[in-house]
Chains A and B, each alone.
Chain A
């Protein structure tokens, strides 16, 4: 019996390979365009973060932390980031920051509209749910491989993998946030004759803001968790440092780069977590949707 079943084999691998090659042959302009957009965003951000003197950047981050959460966090954040400089990981950290924020920017710009549509259409919501599961659970190295095929090594496949992996919570929490808005308030909008677009902008999005911001916070944290993996495909930044520490068994360098990731992660998490609430001195008001 077993011998009989052994003959059964779906050649999925062959199909996917064929599909990837076909894509590569058929749509080179599309992939080139995608690559140049991602590279452009990454390089602009990396230049922006590495151009000012280190202390100026640290001061800016400190002030942002102060606005977001208050003076204690502002000072603590600045001290932590200065620690990265003391570990000689500043430039790698800024490259990683550019990679993360660039990916998060794209992921958010895609996730929020998709989440809005999912909140309004149950059919669409049901359709994308398995896609989101796929994006979150498929081991990223699996699609990094064809990524290298299309784009070569460097920041582009790293960013793509980061976007795919980090985007789902942005979509899910946007959908959840809008669905959780008090139905009576939405009904009040309808009862006073407000058109659906205005109800979305004036009622649903503002009331869903804390949940949507929690989603963006999750996107950022997941993006950071992809840093090392992005290093595997040649993306610059702390991932590269960790990778070379691994390959040369340099425990010291590994610890320094790893700790820098942690500091960066904590800083980004605390700042973005405060965007959903009314704490802090006013950063949340600056980004308040009106």
Chain B
């Protein structure tokens, strides 16, 4: 069963939102309803988030991704549609059950950290447990463990104002981890950080997710970040999801020009794996140097002098899945729309 399932979600701000939803579902364009003074932030979004995956929602500012994530934990109520978390419809819950759902099943990490400035780091990390009514001793113990997980042991008695941006967000992460919820919602959690710190936090999140097997919904406007983190990515534009897929799928087959435009800037060597670029071949497993299917192209390039091409892609039981040669690698480096462009040129020439 999906950890989070959203069906036909709409969020419309402005006057007479229900009418606007009806018009949109009957095929009215976004421009039409905007012209009438409504602001549709999320339009007919359906998604399934599987337990234990990092599901990234990628979109530019104004695409509705922050509104979407706030409907998942009921901070905003959908104008139409349903959100199911653990078998419950979030929109149907009374305020008390909704608070219970938030404190026990879904924690959240915020773009600007949202720490309590008058509480020290330990108290901030234990905030979710305090809300839940956990006694101080147990709370501090769990908060301490969470701080250790994010590499902040020994900082418990500092105030947030004494920390750097990256450390503040580690506290934000620790606060969500200490809550021990199955689901973590992360709203542009790393967007306010310097590039280097950001990379570090991304690695830490991947590492934590592998250890703790959390279900993570991660919002970002940065496709590189989405590709690095996401098991699956949903690309949003103007309130709608235009494509959902694994990073490799989106890279290789962008659903439309909008997605293709984004994909241009992605560092493909850090997304595509040997399995994604290989071609079928029937060769013995010891004929060529072997790599695992999930080896990134970046790593294949880095080791090119030790392991000359072609490479055999070999699974855990030494079965050859395919081979990777120069042509596969070069082809993979070119974005699909560039290929189309060249084909067009060739035709005209």
Which residue numbers of A lie inside 8 Å of B, CB to CB? 182, 184-185, 187-195, 198, 202-203, 206-207
Question: Are A182 and B75 neighbours in the complex by a CB distance under 8 Å?
Answer: no
- Chain B residues near A195 (CB, 8 Å)? 99
CA distance A187 to B107 in the complex (A): 12
Contact assessment for A185 and B132 in the assembled complex, using a CB-CB cutoff below 8 Å: no
A contact residues around B112 at 8 Å (CB) = 182, 184
A188-B102 in contact (CB<8A): no
Closest to B176 in A: A192
Residues in B whose Cβ lies below 8 Å from that of A190: 75, 102
Supplied contacts A188-B115, A198-B131, A203-B116, 6 more A-B pairs, CB within 8 Å: A184-B110, A188-B127, A192-B179, A193-B98, A193-B128, A207-B118
Name B95's closest neighbour in chain A (CB-CB): A195
A187 touches B114 (CB 8 A): yes
**Residues from chain A with Cβ under 8 Å of B62 in the complex:** none
A191 touching B73, Cβ below 8 Å? yes
Residues of A within 8 A of B73 (CB): 191
B178 to chain A, nearest CB (A): 10
Query: In the complex the two chains form, is A191's CB within 8 Å of B107's CB?
Result: yes
Complex: A203 Cα to B113 Cα, angstroms = 15
List 17 contacting pairs A-B, 8 Å CB cutoff, sorted by A.
A184-B111, A184-B112, A184-B114, A188-B110, A188-B114, A190-B102, A191-B75, A191-B185, A192-B103, A193-B101, A193-B128, A193-B131, A193-B132, A194-B99, A202-B116, A206-B116, A207-B118
**B313 CB to nearest A CB, Å:** 43
Main secondary structure of the interface of A (DSSP, over half): helix
Give residues 123-141 of B contacting A (CB, 8 Å): 127-128, 131-132
Query: Which of A185, A191, A202 contacts B115 (CB under 8 A)?
Result: A185
Known A-B contacts A185-B115, A185-B116, A207-B118; A193 and B102 likewise in contact (beta carbons under 8 Å): yes
Our pick among A192, A194, A198 for the contact of B107 (Cβ within 8 Å) is: A192
CA distance A193 to B73 in the complex (A): 10
Cβ contacts under 8 Å, A192 to chain B: 102-103, 107-108, 127-128, 131, 175, 179
Q: Is the CB of B110 within 8 A of A187?
A: yes
Alpha-carbon separation in the docked complex, A190 to B175 (Å)? 14
Question: Does B280 reach chain A (CB closer than 8 Å)?
Answer: no
Q: From A194, which residue of chain B is reached at the shortest CB distance?
A: B131
Is B100 engaged at the interface, CB distance under 8 Å to the other chain?
Answer: yes
Q: In the docked arrangement, what's the CA distance between A194 and B108, Å?
A: 13
Q: Which 5 A-B pairs have the closest CB atoms?
A: A193-B103, A188-B114, A193-B102, A193-B99, A191-B108
CB proximity of B116 to chain A, nearest CB, Å: 6
Q: What distance in Å separates the Cβ of B41 from its nearest Cβ neighbour in chain A?
A: 16
Q: Bound state CA distance, A93 and B66, in angstroms?
A: 59
Residues of B within 8 A of A203 (CB): 116
Q: Which residue of A lies closest to B113 (CB)?
A: A184
Quote the shortest CB–CB distance from B105 to chain A (angstroms): 10
B interface residue count range (under 10 / 10 to 19 / 20 to 34 / 35 or more): 20 to 34
CA–CA, A207 and B113, complex, Å: 16
Q: Which residues in B have their C-beta under 8 angstroms from that of A184?
A: 110-114
Return B93 CB to nearest CB of chain A, in Å: 11
CB closest residue in chain B, given A186 = B114
What is the bound-complex CA distance between A192 and B126, given in angstroms? 11
Answer yes or no: B117 CB below 8 A from chain A CBs.
Answer: yes
Chain A nearest CB, measured from B251 CB (Å): 33
Closest B residue to A203 by CB, please name it. B116
In the bound complex, CA of A185 to CA of B112 (Å): 9
B117 touches A191 (CB 8 A): no
With contacts A191-B75, A192-B128, A195-B99 taken as known, whether A206 is within 8 angstroms of B118 at the C-beta atoms is: yes
Pairwise interchain contact B114-A182, C-beta atoms closer than 8 A:
yes
In whole Å, how far is B129's beta carbon from the nearest beta carbon of chain A?
9
Chain B residues within an 8 Å CB radius of A189: 131
The interface bits of chain B over 66-107 (1 if a CB of A lies within 8 angstroms of the residue's CB, else 0) are 000000010100000000000000000000001111111001
Set of chain A residues within 8 Å of B98, measured between Cβ atoms: 193
B215–chain A nearest beta-carbon distance, Å: 16
Q: Nearest CB to that of A290 among chain B residues?
A: B118
The answer to whether A187 and B75 have CB atoms under 8 Å apart is yes
* Chain A residues with CB under 8 A of B131: 189, 192-194, 198
Which residue of chain A has its CB nearest to the CB of B105? A193
**CB-defined contacts of A207 to chain B, threshold 8 Å:** 116-118
Chain A minimum-CB-distance residue to B132: A193
A206 to B132, CA, bound (A): 20
In the bound complex, what is the Cα–Cα distance between A184 and B102 (angstroms)? 16
Q: Which of A185, A198, A206 contacts B114 (CB 8 A)?
A: A185
Note all chain A residues with C-beta closer than 8 A to B107. Answer: 191-192
> How far, in Å, is A265 (CB) from chain B's closest CB?
30
Q: Which residues of A contact B100 (CB under 8 A)?
A: 193
Question: How far, in Å, is B289 (CB) from chain A's closest CB?
Answer: 49
B306 to chain A, nearest CB (A): 49
Interface residues of B in 246-286 (CB under 8 A from A): none
Q: Report Cα–Cα, A194/B131, bound state, in Å.
A: 6
Which among B103, B104, B114, B117 has the greatest number of chain A C-beta atoms within 10 A? B114
Q: How far is the CB of A106 from chain B (nearest CB, A)?
A: 28
CB of B91 to closest CB in A, whole Å: 16
Alpha-carbon gap, A206 to B101, bound state (A): 26
Complex Cα gap A19–B132 (Å):
54
